[in-house]
């Protein structure tokens, strides 16, 4: 499983779209707007975590189903379970570059002292997004999954108030992750509401993945 995870991490790091849209874009936004305060840094860390989480793992699954690479893997000794765990672990790991860069820039430009906590919270909180991405990757084939995930990404960003200012839906996982991120930067404890909501999303997405993945 570790070898497979490493393989998928390297593969993602070679992906141009991942590097531009899921690492570089939040970094550039942080450089432009980060001076406005810690809330922006938290929002950009959530952008990086949500985007890379949703798209970084799941879209490749859909692609591999379409090209036949998944079928080829299934006739190697890699078990279905090791494959699934490998993809989920890769999804969380490839959230790190964007989140880390945004947080470090925040630390340098606006003296966000508790940036390591922001990294820890947003990387851990990316798990439900990774699972939603994996679910979409096993549900849709090829490019359709990427399009669906990009739509989910922007919808969740707006609903959760990560971009656009107002929070439209307080139960959006993006909102909970933002609340948690801003909270740790301001030295407040993470509220139970945000944790429970993220846990609920994680469980729901995990159930969806487990019900669906064997048919992929």
CA distance linking residue 63 with residue 141, whole number of Å: 7
Task: Spell out, one character per residue from 99 to 138, where the chain touches other proteins: x when CB under 8 A holds, - when not.
Answer: ----------------------------------------
Provide the phi-psi class of 182: left if phi over 0, else alpha when psi is between -120 and 50, else beta: alpha
CA distances from 172 to 17, 73, 125, 148 (A): 25, 35, 13, 17
Nearer to other proteins, 80 or 193 (CB): 80
Task: Spell out, one character per residue from 15 to 34, where the chain touches other proteins: x when CB under 8 A holds, - when not.
Answer: x-------------------
Tell me the closest approach of the beta carbon of residue 155 to other proteins, in angstroms: 26
Nearer to other proteins, 11 or 35 (CB): 11
CA distance linking residue 55 with residue 153, whole number of Å: 8
CA distance linking residue 89 with residue 145, whole number of Å: 19
Q: Is 11 a binder of other proteins (CB under 8 A)?
A: yes
Identify which of 158, 150, 131, 122 has the alpha carbon closest to the alpha carbon of residue 46. Answer: 122
The stretch near other proteins (CB under 8 A) out of 10-18, 25-33, 96-104, 208-216 is: 10-18
With both helix axes pointing from N to C terminus, report the angle between 80-93 and 2-13 in degrees, rounded to the nearest 10: 40
Q: Is 186 a binder of other proteins (CB under 8 A)?
A: no
Q: Is 35 a binder of other proteins (CB under 8 A)?
A: no
In this structure, the dihedral spanned by the alpha carbons of residues 29, 31, 32 and 36, taken in order and rounded to 10 degrees, is 100
Chain positions 79 to 98 lying near other proteins, rule: CB under 8 A, are 79
Nearer to other proteins, 69 or 211 (CB): 69
Phi, psi of 157 (to 5 degrees): -60, -45
Tell me the closest approach of the beta carbon of residue 70 to other proteins, in angstroms: 9
CB 45 within 8 A of CB 27: no
Task: Spell out, one character per residue from 42 to 81, where the chain touches other proteins: x when CB under 8 A holds, - when not.
Answer: ------------------x--xx-xxxx-xx-xxxxxx--
**How far is residue 155 CA from its own chain's centroid?**
14
Interface residues with other proteins (CB under 8 A) are 3-4, 7, 10-12, 14-15, 60, 63-64, 66-69, 71-72, 74-79
């Amino acid at each position: 499983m570790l070898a497979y995870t490493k393989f998928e991490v390297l593969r993602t790091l070679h992906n141009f779209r991942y590097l531009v849209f899921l690492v570089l874009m939040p970094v550039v936004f942080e450089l432009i707007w980060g001076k406005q305060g810690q809330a922006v840094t938290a929002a950009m860390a959530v952008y990086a975590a949500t985007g890379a989480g949703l798209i970084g793992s799941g879209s490749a699954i859909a692609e591999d189903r379409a090209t036949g690479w998944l079928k080829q893997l299934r006739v190697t000794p890699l078990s279905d379970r090791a494959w699934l765990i490998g993809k989920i672990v890769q999804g969380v790991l490839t959230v790190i570059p964007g989140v880390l860069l945004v947080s470090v820039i925040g630390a340098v430009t606006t003296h966000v002292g508790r940036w390591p906590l922001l990294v820890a919270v947003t990387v851990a909180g990316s798990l439900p997004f990774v699972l939603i991405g994996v679910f979409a990757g096993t549900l849709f084939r090829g490019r359709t999954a990427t399009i669906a995930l990009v739509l989910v990404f922007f919808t969740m960003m707006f609903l959760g108030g990560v971009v656009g200012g107002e929070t439209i839906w307080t139960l959006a996982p993006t909102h909970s992750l933002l609340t948690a991120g801003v909270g740790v930067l301001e030295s407040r404890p993470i509220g139970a509401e945000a944790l429970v909501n993220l846990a609920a999303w994680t469980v729901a997405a995990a159930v969806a993945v487990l019900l669906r993945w064997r048919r992929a």
